[in-house]
Amino acid sequence: MLSSIMNPWAFLGLLLLIPIIILYLLKPKPKRIRFPTIMFITRVERDRRFRFFPKRFVRDPLLIVQILIILLFVIAIADPYMKTRVKKGIAENVVFIIDSSASMRATDIYPNRFERAKQIVNGILDKMQEGTKVSILLAENVPIIVLKNSNKENAKSVLNQIECGDTPTNIGDAILFAKDMLSDVSGSKEIYLISDFSNTEGMDVGVACSIAEKDGIDVNLLEINNNGENMGIVGIQGKRFLSERDRFYLTFTVRNYYETDKDVEIEIWLNDNLISKINDKIPRNSERLFYIEDKISYDLGIIRVMLNVNDNLEVDNRAFLVIPKIKKYNILLITNDSADDFLKYAIMASPDFNLSVAISPVIPEFHKFDTIIHGRIDKNRILDGMYHDLKSYVESGGNLIILPYQDLIDIQNREPELGELMPTTLKWLMNSEKYIEINAEHEIMRDVIMADIIVKKYYKNTQKNNSIVIAEVGNEPLILYHKYGSGRVVYMGLNPNSEWSNFYYSSSMPVFWFKLIRWINRKDMALMNNFKTGEYIPLDVNTTIVTPSKKVMKGKNLILDEIGLYEVNLNSISDMIAVNLIDESESDIRKSIQIDITSTMGDEEDVEVNIELYPYVLGIVILFIITELILYRRRGYFVS
């Protein structure tokens, strides 16, 4: 069907038909008639020329041919085209983006969404020509390259090996990453994105597609989603009580994504013992928070929360929590008589610490302790060599916490080893009441309330050695630390003494010191025990990890993309970590991203194309010109 023309002004050329028709009507037509008198013929022709010109117009084939030639030539110049739908071909360079997030494990499409996505990619690969360059990306919370600029045979091999992860997804960033992969190649370029479009982090998918298309890349969006139903664990927390280390609490949240109320049975296991079973009904499209307390030994505890429910996504029906074993830390506080009493009480409140107090100048050997706290020390009661020993202790892996006092600046200036150990250089003492400003998110500040803490005295100081500032007061570093040798040194500028601050009466003080001492003793090679999928283990050395599926991985900064319990082995240290999905949007497996979809199940796409008609019209014009020449020849115009 003729849809439109590109150059409508070309039809003005039809005005050429007017003079041609007039000339044909006025021009006598030669005719051979056998009559004896030429004058008679002339008179007859003159009379018939005007009397019968309509019949001449209809019966003269040469005139009709020339009119058709001009008409068709004008149409060709007008550049007509026809819209039609055809099966779209495959480009010379193709990047497949396969959504491998947790929601792609949903079984609302058999056998699951991810396996169906692999089948679709296989089908597209079968239709590819030899020589097509193929790349494959997995869209997790970060894009993962599994194949780059290879052929379709290798792509099929890789496709059979890839597995779905348990992470959230970031489709927009994956599209931009694929665009960058195609930026340096020549030839036609195409991206196939196969996803359930249930949710995404990062850049908007539509914006990412527009950016790629501006670079001349075709983006095809293939949807795999049957709006499955799900119920899942979307939050979990738990730890030992600070005051009762042989007891723990556990909170977890279960969300019902069904359109109807749903009964659920929940089992809670501690190690291999079932400690609680809960039966409840959760209203449609809502969530419920559960809380329990129970006893736990001082050893490592592994908690499992299991939902017994038949839904379309199994991966969020399980959640794990590791409660670390109790490790006793030996703490040495160097102080004077009756000084630092509030600090003593805060540390002694925790059964995790064995506190020893040394009154200067009688100091025990440092290597017996995990952490040394430099409290209020009389500058006139310091033994020679103490700071040399303290420096050696930190260099070999010990930890030092320094509190500010009146004599500290004099000791810093007199003892170069202490000045070298400190993460800051003290200048002078400030007497001014100020509130604390938290400068950086740090684990030692979690659950610690500093909003009502007033600092009465603090040192004006300058940080050094790339130290990290956690809190400030009056634009001066207050709490900061740096790594020295194999140990850490913290300048704890918030002195709990009543002359320096009101921190001593805050309920957050024992919590803060508990977190500070546990953190400073964990060191770089120690681990946090609970993670979300998509996070990574931040280690500076090679680590061996056994995943929940019993795969063995080695390396640094390993991404945790599988739900369950990991065994981590670092040198002689072995530990367990728990990894959970815990993502409310990822557990919602219904389609939520509103975007135009190319195809729902990977069928060949019918695309609308414009077919230009001028080559065909010009071909007809040439045929008519040949016909015109034949007519002229038959009339004797080319006879010599």
Residues 6+ apart with CB under 8 A from 252: 233, 235, 236, 237, 289, 290, 305, 319
Give the residue from 546, 545, 571, 572 showing the smallest Cα distance to 556: 545
pLDDT for 631 equals 76
Residue 211 confidence (pLDDT) above 50: yes
Q: Is 282 within 8 Å of 329 (Cβ atoms)? A: no
pLDDT for 537 equals 80
3-state secondary structure of 322: strand
- The lowest-confidence range among 115-119, 287-291, 559-563 is 559-563
pLDDT digits (tens, 9 = 90+) for 230-257: 999 999 999 998 878 899 999 999 999 9
Q: What is the sign of the dihedral through the CA atoms of 360, 363, 366 and 368?
A: negative
Q: Is 400 within 8 Å of 366 (Cβ atoms)? A: no
Residue 86 confidence (pLDDT) above 50: no
Query: What is the percentage of the chain residues whose pLDDT exceeds 70?
Result: 88
Residue 277 confidence (pLDDT) above 60: yes
> pLDDT-derived band of residue 58, with 50, 70 and 90 as boundaries?
low
Q: What angle do CA 464, 511, 234 make, to 5 degrees?
A: 100
Average pLDDT for residues 153-162, to the nearest whole number? 96
Q: Is 506 within 8 Å of 552 (Cβ atoms)? A: no
What one-character DSSP code corresponds to residue 6?
Answer: S
Average pLDDT for residues 257-281, to the nearest whole number? 96
Give the residue from 88, 84, 83, 191 showing the smallest Cα distance to 606: 88
| Burial of residue 599, with CB atoms counted within 10 A of its CB: 0-12 exposed, 13-18 middle, 19 or more buried | middle
- Cis before 324 (ω within 30): no
Average pLDDT of the chain to the nearest whole number:
86
> pLDDT-derived band of residue 379, with 50, 70 and 90 as boundaries?
confident
Residue 419 backbone zone (phi > 0: left; psi -120 to 50: alpha; other: beta): alpha
Q: How far apart are CA 59 and CA 118, in angstroms?
A: 68
Q: How many residues does the structure list for the chain? A: 640
Dihedral, CA atoms, 547, 549, 551, 552, nearest 10 degrees? Answer: 30
Average pLDDT for residues 56-75, to the nearest whole number? 72
Residue 39 confidence (pLDDT) above 60: no
pLDDT for 527 equals 66
pLDDT digits (tens, 9 = 90+) for 461-481: 999 988 999 999 988 999 999
Crossing angle of helices 152-161 and 113-126, rounded to 10°: 170
pLDDT digits (tens, 9 = 90+) for 409-447: 999 999 999 999 999 999 999 998 899 988 878 888 888
Residue 140 confidence (pLDDT) above 80: yes
pLDDT digits (tens, 9 = 90+) for 495-510: 998 899 998 888 889 9
pLDDT for 11 equals 73
| Domains of the chain (ranges, CATH numbers) | 2-82 (no CATH), 89-228+589-604 (3.40.50.410), 231-326 (2.60.40.1710), 329-522 (3.40.50.880), 530-580 (no CATH)
- The lowest-confidence range among 79-88, 307-316, 338-347, 377-386 is 79-88
Q: How far apart are CA 14 and CA 73, in angstroms?
A: 9
